[in-house]
């Protein structure tokens, strides 16, 4: 049985926040490092104490790829689609789909989080600003 990301104790806070149109990441209670993806311990100081904190839902495209082939059947009708690595203004990097536009995406473009419901689950996508 596969856990839904909203039911997984490690990722649930992110998805619950996304459902409320908030972007959140883990912060180490000891060294205050922000991190994504969530981990059970801090890779910086090895502390196991963590708090989820809201971060600004904006960032800069660090890298991206345009998929012209669906690697899952559910994505067949969505090709081509773009996935970007976004460096948040608050520091951590998040990876996610980019909402299609007529303008081509470029490294260095500014993006903002967009909060959606995808098949009954909250999702975060990136939209050029």
- In order of start, what are the domains of the chain with their CATH numbers? 12-128 (2.40.50.840)
| pLDDT mean over 42-60 | 96
At 7 the pLDDT is: 85
Structure token digits, residue 46: 């090895």
Structure token digits, residue 100: 């299609």
**Residue 10, CB half-sphere, CA atoms under 13 Å: how many?**
9
Inform me whether the pLDDT recorded for 1 exceeds 70. no
User: Which string of b and e fits 41-72 if b means at least 16 CB within 10 Å?
Assistant: ebeeeeeeebebeebebbbebeebeeeeeeee
Q: How far apart are CA 129 and CA 118, in angstroms?
A: 22
Per the model's pLDDT, the better-predicted residue between 1 and 86 turns out to be: 86
């Amino acid at each position: 049985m596969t856990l839904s990301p909203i039911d997984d104790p490690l990722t649930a806070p992110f998805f619950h926040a996304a459902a409320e149109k908030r972007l959140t990441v883990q912060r180490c209670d000891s060294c205050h490092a922000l991190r994504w993806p969530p981990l059970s311990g801090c890779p910086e100081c090895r502390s196991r104490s963590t708090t989820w904190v809201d971060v600004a839902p904006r960032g800069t495209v660090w890298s991206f790829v345009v998929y012209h082939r669906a690697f899952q059947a559910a994505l067949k009708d969505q090709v081509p689609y773009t996935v970007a690595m976004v460096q948040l203004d608050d520091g951590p990097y998040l990876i996610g789909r980019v909402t299609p536009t007529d303008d081509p995406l470029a490294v260095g473009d500014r993006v903002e989080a967009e909060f959606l419901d995808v098949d009954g689950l909250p999702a975060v996508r990136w939209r050029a600003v």
